[in-house]
Amino acid sequence: MRFALVVLATFLIAAPSAGAARADVTIQATPAAGAAPLRVTFGANGATAVHWDFGDGTSADGVTVEHVYAAGRWTATATAQDADGIATTQVVTVSAYALTLRGPRAARYAGRAVFRGAIVPAERGLRVTLAGPGGKVGTATTNASGAYVIRARLRSPGKYLARSARAASAPVRIRVVLPRLSLGARGGVVGVLGNALRRLHYAAPYGAQFDGRMLDAVYAFEKVQGLSRTGVADARFWRTLAAARTPRPRHAQPANHLEVNKGRQVLYVVRGSRVALIVPVSTAGLPGKFTPAGRFAIYRKVVGFDPSPLGTLYDPMYFTGGYAIHGNPSVPPYPASHGCVRVPMWIASRLYATNPYGETVYVY
């Protein structure tokens, strides 16, 4: 009986409890989550030998091992042995994310295109952003099964891809049909053109008709962007429009002023040191005539028509001598005036009403 008790005590001393054995070995997976294919380094601190079952049908042996996971959520199991020969089994979860994206092969310019995809493994409430050559075009949130749908208006042909905090999709190439618009065109896409130009602060009319006012806006955009001044929204025009930004004024002070850029043949209305409106102009172009350059100020305004030796000026705002910014029925996309700064008739009254006496005018 005494021998049996001694043997039992020896066994208890030599064999630590299960809880103590688990405390001797800890396993790690780095990283435990990321975009697939995900390379994970597994390690077991305190172990002398480890067998790893990666959960995807593969396994390996070693205290430190690496494994690459395809998309999915996986449970890796480590069977480890410490220096005392005590075995323990531990598990760790690894999430390798993949974001899928499907889209149409072709889309009509500014028409709604539908994109679908999903995050694998599924995750609810994940924000997904769709971007293309012109920047972000739409967002969506994944549902309980990880799926999402984005309806976007496309304005640029090229590659589109979806991004989330978990992963990015492979790009899909979309062909966007770019309409050719010129004076006299009608339809909803003309309204889309006007909206796009107004977002960039070009003076452009509302409506679905490509009239003389829209022609003025198209000319102004072509001038600023250095495009051929055709007055036609062709494929190159649309591509440039999709990536364009509002230009910056040359002068920051005073915060509110006017700038006449003779090189580009445009007028910038600057408010808060930012370009708020872009208007096409025509400066001196006749032989022996010139438009003076420098810093001036509006010193005289005449509402309506004002006769002058060189013709009748509409809503003129004189900034030096007899030179004025004024409305004229003819504002071609090139210098053609006697020296004044011509602006389209439909914009002249707006400029007159919003620019007071003393307003600074830069001409360069």
pLDDT at position 14, please? 34
User: In whole angstroms, what is the distance from residue 251 CA to residue 234 CA?
Assistant: 32
> What is the chain's mean pLDDT, rounded?
92
- Residue 140: how many CB atoms within 10 A of its CB? 21
Render pLDDT for 257-277 as a digit per residue (tens, 0 to 9). Answer: 999 999 999 999 999 999 999
What predicted TM-score, i.e. pTM, was given to this entire model? 0.65
Closest CA to 334 of 240, 233, 229: 229
Three-state DSSP at 261 gives: strand
Please say whether the beta carbons of 78 and 44 come within 8 A: yes
For residue 186, the SS3 value is strand
What confidence tens digit (pLDDT) does each residue in 59-84 have?
999 999 999 999 999 999 999 999 88
Tens of pLDDT, residue by residue over 40-59, are 999 999 999 999 999 999 99
Average pLDDT over residues 128-142: 95
Report whether the peptide linkage leading into residue 31 is cis, meaning its omega lies within 30 degrees of zero: yes
| 41: its two tokens | 């380094």
Res 116: pLDDT:
98
Count Cβ neighbours within 10 Å for each residue of 242-253 and write b for 16 or more, e otherwise. bebeebebebee
**Above 70 in pLDDT, residue 15?**
no
Please write the tens of the pLDDT for every residue from 182-198: 999 999 899 989 999 99
- What is the structure's pLDDT at 4? 34
Domains and CATH numbers, the chain: 20-97 (2.60.40.10), 100-177 (2.60.40.10), 188-243 (no CATH), 257-363 (2.40.440.10)
Dihedral (CA of 333, 339, 341, 345) sign: negative
Read off the pLDDT of each residue in 245-261 and give the average, rounded to a whole number: 98
Pair of tokens at residue 153: 């208006």
Kindly list the strands in the beta sheet with 158-163, ordered across the sheet, starting from the edge strand earlier in the chain.
106-108, 172-177, 158-163, 127-132, 135-141
pLDDT in tens, 143-200: 999 999 999 999 888 999 999 999 999 999 999 888 899 999 999 899 989 999 999 9
Distances (CA, A) of 283 to 77, 230, 280, 321, 352: 79, 19, 10, 15, 18
pLDDT band at 88 (very low <50, low <70, confident <90, very high): very high
Pick the residue with more confidence: 107 or 5?
A: 107
- The pLDDT value recorded for residue 24 is 79
Check whether 2 has a pLDDT greater than 50: no
